[in-house]
Structure 1
Amino acid sequence: MVIDGEEQPNSLFKLVKSTQENTNPNNKIKFSDNSSCIQGYDVKVFAPKKADGPSSFTLNTATKHIILTAETHNFPTAVAPFPGATTGTGGRIRDIQATGRGAHVVAGTAGYSLVSQYPRL
């Protein structure tokens, strides 16, 4: 990686992972499986009484942590405009579901960062 004409000693991926050297105590998973996890909250969950067959449902309380992930490549839009561009959306869903013991996707966001090659006028 070259910034302002100077070759950097670390790759972008190594720079992202190095942020975990000074992590916050609320961090539950430190950048694993392309995701991180911070302390969540106790919430009410509607779940089956038995997981191994048909059953009625019950209302329980469970701690649900917050998973953060970013797809940094092949992401021209949140909705793929052409075949092969879906790793943005699909990659984020896959990464969240593979974090820790598995997770549920509740919401997704899309952000764009542009760097101008032209000086301000």
Structure 2
Amino acid sequence: MITTLIQTCRKWLKRAVENPKKFFMCSMVFLVVSFIGSMIHGIFFSSETVFKIKPPVLYSHSTAVQNKEANHEKEMEKIVTELKALKIKRNRKELQKEDSLRIEYLFNQYQQLKNGR
């Protein structure tokens, strides 16, 4: 039985080598028909759990996400209060080079928190 299977495979390979266009067309037709068949089976005849498409989770109501947002808000409030203190220092003309670097750093941190990174 195995020898007949091997002989049949050799015949098919020989035909494929002799007629590559026909072999290519037959394999493409087989692939298209099997794809369409699997789509029809998946849509009409399968159980609900196999092909159920779930929407992506865009918003979460979990406490972890809410805590993260609350922490971002607290950090942003701290940054704003520190920037206000530095603004008062600027109005008194007591700013130093380190203060300018601190203002730039705080502004970048605020932008990152605001953009949700």
| TM-score normalised per structure 1 | 0.23
The structure richer in helix per residue is 2
More strand by share: 1
Q: Which structure would you say has the larger Rg?
A: 2
